[in-house]
Amino acid sequence: MKTKLNRFKVYNFRSIEESDWIDISDNSCLVGTNEAGKTNLLIALWKLNPANDEPIVPLDDFPRHLYSKYKANNHSEDVFIEADFLLSEDIQTEIASELKCDKEQVAMAYVRRKYDGKYYISFPYSKVDSYPIEKLHKLIEDFEEKLFSSDAFTKEAVELQDGIKAFLNQEKEAFPKESFKKEETTNLKKSIEEYILQNFGKKKNLPEIFNRNLLNHLQKMIESFDGAPVKTTPEVRQKVLKEIPKFVYYSDYGNLDSEIYLPRVIEDFERDDLSESARAKARTLDVLFKFVKLSPKEIYELGNESKTIIKKLNHVNQVVSTEEQEISEEEIQEWADKKKERGILLRSAATQLTQNFKRWWLQGDYIFDFEADGRHFRINVSDSLRPEQIELEGRSRGLQWFFSFFLVFLVETKEGHSNTVLLLDEPGLSLHPIAQYDLAKFFRKLSEENQLIYTSHSPFLVDMENLANVKAVYIDSQTGRTIVSSNLRYNEADAEKSIFPIHAALGLTVSDTLLLGCLPILVEGPSDQIYLNLIKRHLIGNGDLKNSKEIVFIPTGGVRGMGPVTKLVSSRDESLPYVLLDSDNVGKDYQKQLKKGRYRDEKEKVLGVGDFLGDKNWEIEDLIPADSLVTIIDRLYRSDQYFEDVHKKDVPIVDQIEDWAKNNSIDLGDGWKVEIARIAQSRFDSIMKSIPQATYNKWTKLFQSLTKE
């Protein structure tokens, strides 16, 4: 596992006074209107650790209306960005060893950056509430391996060896099933210490093995339950800074032109006072020439076959006259060889680019050509339909954008920092809608290797299969703050316009089911869609779901949205779509209503969760193993009373969560069910490792009912 960005927050940066904490997944989409603050969120995050050494420019970056106070009040000390990073397993182990703490205490690093460029790195999440029981099993297994292979153990009497094994087995049998906390850990440590006192007498080697390889680890866990602070060192802070991913930001400002005037490029590369848009263009040109493996100065010099000697200057150093000096035959041959080498390098670079580009761009089969002539460098493009070479500018703006982004990604992610977070501002706006669809699919694939955050207000770029990681960005009309929310429903006036692309994307999804012959299944909300997609993936992976049509779960915004969406989906023919409802009171009432009304002739297509789980107010969440959701709740919402301690098995979990939150004065927030589902989605692999057979059978039965022809 690579180190990953977990969440970030922005302060006093351009238009943003203070954002919410923004949770990030492998592929996150921020949707919203213009001026909502989407771009500034990305730029602030980019400047946390930019791949291209992008500078912090207070004149541009500090809020303009407060700039008069910037120097007067020493605002260079202000933090403008902070983020949590989940460190890789290797670096966790390494740092824990150096700081003499438990690995879990340094799993999450907190990184801040100030306007003066300085970093502050710490581990504030040192308090651990509980550990998965697998960790304790692994600790004991590793200890047993070292103990049983040691001379101190193998040279002891068989009776003592058998006694130690029996004691360890007895302790393992007493372990809790899911997780362990401070009390269990303290009791285990005390039990081991008592066993050593009672059975080892004056022996030294055996107690030493127990202390070094078991008791010390248990003590670190106990300290982590107490939240013992973890003090960093300069070496550890530098190690974290080197470990966190680089950020690659791209926007339309960086799009390349087809003809590049080399003297201007050479001049811009040496300047440090370029505007933001000029820096973006210079940066793309920089990666272009790095890809070509020739500097603009080298290309320019190879285009000049004569030497110009300045003969006379006036009193203000202006050139009065010049004289060209003829070059020798040897020099002519040297120039010819260099120009030949330049031509080979350009053709080779263009061929490599063409081959790589084919694997990315799905809207045509393009061939690129680089041409250098004197003061100019040109990018030409041809394809099978138009074999003649045409300047890049003569092609679509969509191709220009994708070509330029492709170069930036290709070069900046390979320069010693393959662990990269990609930040794309309004990508593909100039692309045709079909190309935007392809781009959204491409982002899904791209995020398998690199975390991706992009902004958009196009419904064609809202990936409905990734709805858990789509967030609305809008301005709170009362506070003026930029709000980022997982709540994708129309219940806040300020968010309505920002959320529109998501609802438009829902309409497009419905349209897809009509055009492509998918199997649409209506569900109440995004969290239902997420959980059912997880179950679908698992059943398909096990070979227990084989359906000729793609199954598409369509969230309708509650039972009130079922009617209109039903009409849309069923307009293709007389067949009605399947409906899967929660079996709470509202869901049960609507299920009866549908069966008496529109679905009276197709009652088998109206299903409730209770049809598969029993006669209680079950919801979609109850299809997921409760232990997994309990763990997520306790980690997401901190309380003196753990939800695990009050959770009742075989009782609908949603009502329990809401009652527990109310009793502990916890504000779950709007859209909390989507947030829980999003986290469950990110832990898909671990959740699916231990599915009870009874639960799996219910999943199978549910999908068999949903896919009946």
Q: What is the pLDDT of residues 366-418, one digit of tens each?
A: 888 888 876 777 888 888 777 777 777 667 777 777 778 777 777 776 654 46
Q: 510 pLDDT exceeds 60?
A: no
- CB of 361 within 8 A of CB of 402? yes
Is residue 192 over pLDDT 90?
A: yes
pLDDT of residue 189: 93
Q: In Å, what is the CA distance from 102 to each residue of 55, 93, 225, 228? A: 37, 9, 10, 10
Q: What is the pLDDT of residue 142?
A: 92
CA distances from 602 to 510, 595, 613, 705, 708 (A): 20, 8, 22, 13, 12
In sequence order, what are the residues at sequence separation of 6 or more whose Cβ sits closer than 8 angstroms to the Cβ of residue 660?
A: 633, 639, 641, 643, 646, 647, 666
More confident residue, 198 or 435: 198
Round to whole Å and give the CA distance between 291 and 282: 14
**What mean pLDDT do residues 282-305 have?**
76
Question: What is the spatial distance between Cα 51 and Cα 44, in angstroms, rounded to a whole number?
Answer: 13
CB contact at 8 A, 8 and 24: yes
Confidence of residue 334 (pLDDT cuts 50, 70, 90): confident
Q: Which helix (H) or strand (E) is 131 found in, with range?
A: strand 131-132
Mean pLDDT of the chain: 81
CA distance 327 to 104: 70
pLDDT digits (tens, 9 = 90+) for 657-704: 999 999 998 888 777 888 888 888 877 777 777 788 889 999 999 999
pLDDT higher than threshold 70 for residue 345: yes
Q: Tell me the C-alpha distance between 581 and 558, whole Å.
A: 9
Burial bucket for residue 253 (CB in 10 Å: 0-12, 13-18, 19+): middle
Cα separation, 502 vs 500, in Å, equals 5
The reported pLDDT for the residue numbered 348 is: 86
Token pair for 296: 């603009």
Strands 551-555 and 519-523: parallel
SS3 214: helix
- Model confidence at 569, pLDDT cuts 50, 70, 90, reads low
Res. 618: pLDDT tops 70: yes
State the Cα–Cα distance between residues 470 and 503, nearest whole angstrom: 12
Pairing verdict, β 246-250 and 578-581: unpaired
pLDDT in tens, 455-466: 887 777 777 666
Predicted local distance difference test score (pLDDT) of residue 652: 92
What residues contact residue 470 under an 8 Å CB cut-off, 6+ apart?
A: 28, 29, 31, 462, 463, 488, 502
pLDDT for residue 5: 95
Minimum mean pLDDT range among 85-94, 121-130, 381-390, 538-547? 381-390
pLDDT at 149 over 80: yes
Report the distance separating Cα 84 and Cα 142, nearest Å: 30
Q: What is the pLDDT of residue 417?
A: 47
Res. 160 pLDDT band, cuts 50 70 90: very high
Q: Which amino acid is at 117?
A: G
For domain 4-25+37-129+242-246, give its CATH number from 3.40.50, 3.30.70, 3.80.10, 2.30.30.
3.40.50
Helix (H, G, I), strand (E, B) or coil at 431: coil
Whole-model pTM: value is 0.66
Lowest mean pLDDT among 267-271, 359-363, 530-534: 359-363
pLDDT (average), residues 572-585? 81
Spell out the domain ranges in the chain. Answer: 4-25+37-129+242-246, 131-225, 247-416, 517-709
- Residue range 235-258: average pLDDT? 84
3-state SS, residue 261:
strand
SS3 category, 568 = helix
Residues 413-426, mean pLDDT to the nearest whole number: 75
Strands (E) located in 26-68? 27-31
- Calpha distance 14→81 (Å, rounded): 12
CB 253, CB 124: distance < 8 Å:
no
Residue spans of alpha helices (H) in 227-328: 234-243, 262-269, 276-292, 296-302
More confident residue, 239 or 511: 239
pLDDT of residue 471: 80
Q: What is the pLDDT of residue 308?
A: 47
- Name the amino acid, one letter, at 173: E
Q: Is 490's pLDDT higher than 50?
A: no
638 Cβ partners below 8 Å, 6+ apart? none
Separation of alpha carbons 696 and 685, rounded Å? 15
In percent, how much of the chain has pLDDT > 70? 84
Distances in Å between the Cα of 508 and the Cα atoms of 465, 469, 514, 523 are 13, 18, 10, 16
From the list 536, 692, 694, the residue with the least C-alpha distance to 612 is 694
One-letter amino acid identity for 458?
Answer: S
For the ranges 37-41, 295-299, 461-465, 692-696, the lowest mean pLDDT is seen at 461-465
User: Is residue 506 predicted with pLDDT exceeding 70?
Assistant: no
Residue 295: other Cβ atoms inside 10 A:
16
Length of the chain in terms of residues written: 709
pLDDT for residue 598:
85
Which range among 89-93, 446-450, 459-463, 668-672 shows the weakest confidence by mean pLDDT? 459-463
Q: CB–CB of 580/613 below 8 Å?
A: no
Amino acid identity, residue 684? Answer: F
Output the six-digit token pair for 291: 């890809």
> Would you place residue 543 in the very low, low, confident or very high pLDDT band (cuts 50, 70, 90)?
confident
State the DSSP string of 116-159. TS-EEEE--------EEHHHHHHHHHHHHHHHHTSHHHHTS-HH
pLDDT of residue 109: 94
Confidence of residue 568 (pLDDT cuts 50, 70, 90): low
**pLDDT value for 140:** 92
> Which of 412, 86, 402 is CA-nearest to residue 244?
86
User: For 490-495, what is the mean pLDDT?
Assistant: 50
Please state, in angstroms and rounded to a whole number, the distance separating the CA atoms of residues 191 and 596.
64
pLDDT band, residue 608 (cuts 50/70/90)? very high
Number of Cα atoms under 13 Å in the Cβ half of residue 59? 4
- Rounded Cα distance, 559 and 704, in Å: 23
- Of 494, 510, 622, the closest CA to residue 555 belongs to 510
